[in-house]
Amino acid sequence: MLEILRQSHEHLDAESVYQRARSKDPRISLATVYRTLALFKALGLVEEHLFGEAHGHFETVQTNPHYHFTCSECGQVSEFEAPDVAALVGQLCQDSGQRLDQVRLELGGLCRDCLQKQRPQGGALALKPLSHIPAGGHGRIHKFDGGHEFAARVIAMGLPLGSEVTVIQNFGHGPLLVGIQGVRIALGRGEAARIRVEIHE
């Protein structure tokens, strides 16, 4: 199992490890895979990442610190190294007299391919999260990320699909204030990030 994780260029979940292990030894059980992954994790041989999902994905511990970027559109996970980040965090801990044991930095956004798909061409519409629109910007609500429950809640707040919305206040942190049909509505940043708006550029 450790060799499977070492040879993989992906972040495998337990089910994927199980399927690959069965091709080498059909007698292995899924319970054994879970127990072994937990043991590897306790021994510091593997790391577990959630990537915004309910179940974990595993990879072997690497000597060089690296970080993960998860695309919010297609779910692709990519890795990158950032020595400056590691140096800065280490310096901050040293300056405050703390011992650094681990760093967890998970980044999310749009990957290059998904960004290219949303980039306007020849006057086409660009889709952006409402949280990314500065004060004074406006557009039409196109879709909601986050399932039916979230969509129903936002619609009940007075932000239905197809409606024109204007951002009144957006400081880049904290809540947003938006206007729709003469009514002002306050939104948390997490909520605003899941509301996609068509912008004419």
pTM of the model as a whole: 0.40
Torsion angle in degrees (nearest 10) through CA of 56, 57, 61, 62: -140
Answer with the one of 61, 87, 109 that is the final residue of a domain: 109
The chain-wide mean pLDDT, for the chain, equals: 83
Average pLDDT of span 93-101: 86
Average pLDDT of span 81-99: 83
Any idea what the CATH number is for the domain that residue 85 is in? 1.10.10.10
**Pairwise pLDDT comparison (123 vs 68), residue with the higher score:** 68
C-beta of residue 1 within 8 angstroms of C-beta of residue 37: yes
Q: Which domain holds residue 163?
A: 120-200
Residues 37 and 70 in one domain: yes
Residues 101 and 165 in one domain: no
Residues 26 and 100 in one domain: yes
Question: Is the four-CA dihedral 89, 108, 52, 155 of positive or negative sign?
Answer: positive
From CA 65, how far away is CA 62, in angstroms rounded? 7
Residue 184 reports pLDDT greater than 90? yes
Residue 138: strand, helix, or coil = strand
Residues 59 and 136 in one domain: no
Residues 16 and 85 in one domain: yes
Residue 28 reports pLDDT greater than 90? yes
- Give residue 34's pLDDT: 92
